[in-house]
Amino acid sequence: MQVAIIGITGYAGSTLYELLKKHSQVNQINLYGHNLSKPTQLNQINDEFSYDQHLVFPYDENAIIKDNDAVFFATPAGVTSKMAKPFIKAGFPVIDLSGDYRLKDPDEYVKWYQKEPAELSDLQKAQYCLADIDDSEGAKYIANPGCYATAVLLGLAPVVKEDLIDLDSIVIDAKSGLSGAGKSLSDSSHFVMANENLQVYKPHEHKHIPEIVQKLQVWNKNVQNIEFMTTLVPLNKGIMCTMFVKLKSNIEMDKVQHAFDSLYANSKFVHVSMDELPTIKSVVGTNECHVGLSFNSSNNSLMIVSVIDNMIKGAAGQAIQNFNHLFDFEETDGLELMHVLP
């Protein structure tokens, strides 16, 4: 089949392009740029592909629908809310890596993204698909989860879905490598600031907060809010979310273990350990999420550590996983990857 990628200059779009080349069911990848006025060689607009002369075409929804079987949007926030309507109207399969269709409440989108939202009728047609839990088969517009949201939700899902914790006790310490900030330069991503340094950023203001809360409320309507802090760390890639929750007084650890084992028993990509805590190094370069648990009996609290590669599991890899579900392909197709060594 043929697929289109809109947005190839950022890290997520570049990663998506590389992964789709490995997909057994994809025989052609057509690239489009939403800011291009004429066909341009990829190596002229993205230095990551110095020798790749693949043509990138100006955005044209009619050509995309005519020549492709599905389209991936790997564009900044605010783009798909304007460009996706023709695809939604046509019932054409879309997988959106941006945040434009993740939040069901347009007012929440304006509050957290400070951009004009998509139309409510279109938001209602979008399906938020956390690929290791949700089934995207039959969906036409898939809102791919954000990177932090993916790591947090995969870590919290078993205890929230099974109502094992005090829901007002959720505290999340999230750390991300520099690629999570995107390619645009800023003071915080400048080498002399990022190297040998940790930087807390957007305390209580990160745009993945409402996305996380919205999904937690789907699983348990009694969730009200979370404490969520983000830190930029001097790594190229990777996310580690350390989550602290209080178990309900009548809950023993065997119930917790059973909840994790039951939810992820057949998962190809989520691996849970009760014996050791995961490291970022173990998942970079893969579509895996590793989760570790540690119980503090003195105060009945549970620490959940979840790690992912933010560009693969947190973006492009999960998009392909959703794509595989959508078209009933083998879930691991295009995602049989090995973590980076050493």
Active site residues: 147
Distance (Å, whole) CA 270 – CA 151: 10
The amino acid present at 122, given as its one-letter code, is D
Distance of alpha carbon 240 from alpha carbon 304, whole angstroms:
10
The CA radius of gyration of the chain, in Å to the nearest whole number, is 20
Decide: helix, strand or coil at residue 89. helix
- What is the spatial distance between Cα 298 and Cα 179, in angstroms, rounded to a whole number? 38
The span from the CA of 336 to the CA of 23, in Å, is 10
CB 58 within 8 A of CB 35: no
Q: How far apart are CA 309 and CA 70, in angstroms?
A: 25
Q: What is the secondary structure of 9-37 as a DSSP string?
A: SSHHHHHHHHHHTT-TT--EEEEEETT-S
